[in-house]
Structure 1
Amino acid sequence: MNTMSVALLALVLLFVACLAHLLPYLTDPHALRSYPGPWLAKLSDVWLGRVAAQGHRSEVVHQLHKQYGTFVRLAPNHLSICDPDGIQDVYAHGNGTTKSDFYDAFVSITRGLFNTRSRADHTRKRKVVAHVFSQKSVLEFEPYTRVHVAALFRQWDREAVCGWMLPWFNYLAFDIIGTHSPSTSLGLRAPFGMLQACADTAPTVTYCPAVQIINERGEYSASIGVLPPRWRPWLVRFLLAGMAIAAISKRLAAPTERTDLLSKLQQGKDEEGRPLGAKELTADALTQLIAGSDTTSNSSCAIAYHLAANPDVQEKLQRELDAALGGEDDPVVTFEQVRRLPYLDAVINEGMRVHSTSGIGLPREVPTGGTVLSVPTYTVHRNEDVWGSDADVFRPERWLERDKNELQKAFNPFSFGPRGCIGRNLASMELFIIVASVFRRYHFVLEDTSQKLDTKEGFLRKPVKCRVGVRRRATGIGM
């Protein structure tokens, strides 16, 4: 092929590509032409893919809503709605929406509870899994949580801790979920042991950085998920998925009496008495590893930062903890001891509101036409009509000053409706124990008081570049 032929072919391909984007814009099959947004977003998914890959999608979308208002077009078929009422409209039961093809990018074994797009399939899976995360089941996991918080304290008491806190909360969250879901269910030769090793290491046949793998998986999937399916790789493999496949097979061949997430998943049956298959068990066990570790560590770290940055809030919380727990010697609290403490509850809620670990607008496809709608949690959590003119400020008192039921309508840390986070009871229990125990025992200060909490976002928003100092409080707590 000569040079002229190559040039002509290139021009033809360019013309076809332009036509493929211009025709949908001109014909407007989704009736979105009248909605504002970046001009490239109206023509192509490339704009949103680039924003997602840069790691600050929620902040970018938030600024667009401040510029354009309630509705912003993020892609040729995608409309973002930053109205608290939109949470009900887009995500509630009975509205007919389904998860969009964004979730296809998160399938690595088979479709599980998180990434299945079929309403019937999701209903079946949720009925099988729901008992695992009932309040009764969650309380059975509490001793495992408390054991690992105590292990964290032994490490911190051994030396003065100063530096980047997220790794510590990652180690804690992974060790907790690794005990809830034992080594054999997660593909490990032994529990994670990250706190003992003070390192991001999963003991497989060869050691691998589990936290790093999950972070990169989330960033990759969240970026390619907004691109057209035809642009995505044909096959995506993840190391943790391969580990889980081999280990689930081993676990099924040698059952155990141990009470953990996998054993409870195995016990579950749908309305026709059918359990989850081996691949489904593997997919959902892997989902629990990711969801149960990354979200808890991100939220714990963000709350720790905000308490260090607001010493008056930290002191007020510690006064409440000291008054409620008195001379209790055990350094790790029980859930029952702290679950009804109002200021602790306000601190945790405010941390999840301001940081918004799940900050992006989770995409839902309307029943006909392929139009995608989303409500950006990060932006709704900053709606001044709901939260006040200081919506950007970490101020737990707002949860005590205003009607909490009204605030809850615009509070969406676990999503909403039939596809809301099934593990919210477990996450809440862990956060109450971790935050209460840590701040009853330690005092946090920022290394640099001018430093803001920076983040990097894949599917979840992770705190980065925040250094704090930690010292024991003079409270006489044991251990």
Structure 2
Amino acid sequence: MNAVFLAGGALAIFLLVHLVPWLFDVHGIRSVPGPFLAAFSDLWLGRVAAAGYRSEIVHDVHQQYGPIVRIAPNHISIADPTALQVIYAHGNGTLKSDFYDAFVSIERGLFNTRDRAQHARKRKIVSHIFSQKSVLEFEPHVREYVKTLLHEWEGLFKKAAQGLSGTEGEGWLGRDGRLWLDCLPWFNYLAFDIIGDLAFGRPFGMLVAARDAADVALTDDGKSKLVSFPAVKILNERGEFSASMGVLPPWCRPYVKKLIPWYRRGGAAVSHLAGIAIAAVTKRLDQGDYRVDLLSKLQEGKDDDGNPMGRAELTAEALTQLIAGSDTTSNSSCAIAYYLAANQAVQAKLHKELDEVFGSEDDPVATFDIVKRLPYIEAVINETLRIHSTSGIGLPRIVPSGGLMAGGRFFTEGTILSVPSYTIHRDPAIWGQDVDAFRPERWFECNAEAIQRTFNPFSYGPRACVGRNLASMELLIIVASVFRRFHFVLEEPEKKLEMREGFLRKPLACKVGIKVRDV
């Protein structure tokens, strides 16, 4: 009898928690269409996020219900490019939602702080670091690691030709004289070594070792207990955990983390990722010598009161740069390699542009000053970022006092709104009817003003990616150098690029055959 009573009580509480808000409809969104369960509970979006395909599923929901859909009891997704300039604009008063609380470790950084004044303070300190002038100081370091990648791949060719390789990571020499390998781990190694050098004064050593490993501090002092962990794996698990946890109600997050093993593992990844930053910052500061890198610039930065960052805040911001500067670059580089390997005519046009500019230049690594002016490579990169949005999910914002008109509809204070990049990047009205095709030529054909309003690879407004200049420089140098030197084909030409989504859309593998070009 007691068990029946308790079960009945639990059911009654569940219904009250989920049904009452729907009945009262304080935000006036009951009429917004969407999945049935999403109108009553965060469980629908929680399940979708945990499955690892949120962008695709939300896109399908938009295809079914239209440009404005309800994906949670108080979360409206608006697949309308005009809503970008409204929801994420400067001075509109919207704030980040409690989704971002799930991304906090060490302390709040530029990415996950929700307070407007704190964000303005942090951005003032950080933004000058990523000005175009400052970013150019980092170019020699970027080029050095791209050179190392080319050298390692050429070395694998020699080893394979001599019959000395045999591990999956090293690849194997097969048909058509190509080296066959999974290029995703290599782009991970490259991105981590670049950001390790730029942010912490030394690389993680992944490229030369061809291994995913980084020191993790298990204590706050960053010295007494260091353990080697696979950094890329930690970063992936943390992204999936935080993106899934963030869509759940704050009150239930501690219980979910405690009771469900998948979330417990994700919580450990959050801790270990923070430990990577703590260990790296400690090593860097203990060196004592000065060098121009992100950490030294963060140390020099001061807020309006002349105050520098404290040690914990410095480490938190360095962690933000580690995450933003590694995963985005490796994901995008891998996606670019896939789409070029899958579209040989596009790759041939890119080769032609690079050959005409570089000719028989001895230096195998491209310089930013040359590649920044090349139209076709820019179109290739942009087309990849359109199809493979770095972050495809809609970034949630809270409607401020007075409400907001977005997507042709008025929303009251407290409503959560977002614009899914994955979906607006597939709007036929902007991009043409062949939105799913990889076709860089569309960047010379489509309405430039419409593209500017819709293309959203680095977000928009005051919370847009502060490291955009650095990311653009890295991608241009990486793509130009790799494809000037090598020709790519897919191991399985008919196979789509498989991926899993946390906060970012992460390829799972990209197996290709590469061959040194005669240039």
> Do they superpose with TM above 0.5?
yes
1:97 matched residue in structure 2: 94
Alignment counterpart, residue 172 of structure 1, candidates 190, 213, 220: 190
- What aligned pairs does 1:197-346 form with structure 2 within 5 A after superposition? 197-204=209-216, 205-233=226-254, 236=267, 237-245=270-278, 247-248=280-281, 251-252=284-285, 255-346=288-379
Q: Deviations over 1:215-256 (max 9, x none)?
A: 000000000100000111288551121343355456556643
Flag the 1:247–1:171 CA change in 2: closer, same or farther, 3 A. Answer: closer
Q: Distance in 2 between matches of 1:203 and 1:105?
A: 24
Q: Is the CA contact 1:116–1:122 (under 8 Å) kept in the aligned structure 2?
A: yes
2:475 matched residue in structure 1: 431
Q: Is the CA contact 1:451–1:466 (under 8 Å) kept in the aligned structure 2?
A: no
Q: What letter is aligned with 2:84?
A: I
1:187 matched residue in structure 2: none
Q: Is the CA contact 1:128–1:265 (under 8 Å) kept in the aligned structure 2?
A: yes
Q: Distance in 2 between matches of 1:394 and 1:249?
A: 44
Deviates more, 1:201-210 or 1:271-280: 201-210
1:157 aligns with 2:154: yes
Q: Deviations over 1:165-216 (max 9, x none)?
A: 2111000000000110125xxxxxx631111111111145332100000000
Q: Distance in 1 between matches of 2:398 and 2:102?
A: 16
Q: Is the CA contact 2:183–2:334 (under 8 Å) kept in the aligned structure 1?
A: yes
Flag the 1:441–1:250 CA change in 2: closer, same or farther, 3 A. Answer: closer
Q: Is the CA contact 1:105–1:225 (under 8 Å) kept in the aligned structure 2?
A: yes
Flag the 1:247–1:175 CA change in 2: closer, same or farther, 3 A. Answer: closer
Q: Distance in 2 between matches of 1:304 and 1:246?
A: 32
Structure 1 unpaired stretches of 5+: 184-189
Shift of 1:163: 2.6
Q: Distance in 1 between matches of 2:284 and 2:473?
A: 27
- What aligned pairs does 1:54-133 form with structure 2 within 5 A after superposition? 54-133=51-130
Q: Distance in 2 between matches of 1:66 and 1:201?
A: 42
Q: Is the CA contact 1:300–1:434 (under 8 Å) kept in the aligned structure 2?
A: yes
Q: Distance in 1 between matches of 2:200 and 2:291?
A: 9
1:194 aligns with 2:190: no
Q: Distance in 1 between matches of 2:286 and 2:374?
A: 45
Q: Distance in 2 between matches of 1:243 and 1:381?
A: 34
Q: Distance in 2 between matches of 1:8 and 1:81?
A: 43
Q: What letter is aligned with 2:515?
A: R
Shift of 1:295: 0.2
- Root mean square deviation, CA, Å: 1.5
Q: Is the CA contact 2:430–2:446 (under 8 Å) kept in the aligned structure 1?
A: no
Q: Deviations over 1:443-475 (max 9, x none)?
A: 000111111112100000011243211110111
Q: What letter is aligned with 1:209?
A: P
- Secondary structure at the counterpart of residue 80 of structure 1: strand
Q: Is the CA contact 1:81–1:374 (under 8 Å) kept in the aligned structure 2?
A: yes
- Secondary structure at the counterpart of residue 356 of structure 2: helix
- What aligned pairs does 1:402-441 form with structure 2 within 5 A after superposition? 402-441=446-485
1:357 matched residue in structure 2: 390
TM-score of the superposition, structure 1-length normalised?
A: 0.95
Deviates more, 1:459-468 or 1:422-431: 459-468
Q: Distance in 1 between matches of 2:138 and 2:285?
A: 21
Q: Is the CA contact 2:431–2:446 (under 8 Å) kept in the aligned structure 1?
A: no
Q: Is the CA contact 1:452–1:466 (under 8 Å) kept in the aligned structure 2?
A: no
Flag the 1:122–1:6 CA change in 2: closer, same or farther, 3 A. Answer: same
Structure 2 unpaired stretches of 5+: 158-178, 217-225, 258-266, 402-412
Q: Is the CA contact 1:249–1:278 (under 8 Å) kept in the aligned structure 2?
A: no
Q: Distance in 2 between matches of 1:346 and 1:128?
A: 32
Q: Distance in 2 between matches of 1:289 and 1:396?
A: 30
- What aligned pairs does 1:32-47 form with structure 2 within 5 A after superposition? 32-47=29-44
Q: Distance in 1 between matches of 2:338 and 2:421?
A: 20
Shift of 1:415: 0.1
- Secondary structure at the counterpart of residue 358 of structure 1: coil
TM-score of the superposition, structure 2-length normalised?
A: 0.87
Q: Distance in 2 between matches of 1:167 and 1:431?
A: 16
Q: Deviations over 1:303-353 (max 9, x none)?
A: 110000000000000000000112211000110011010001100110100
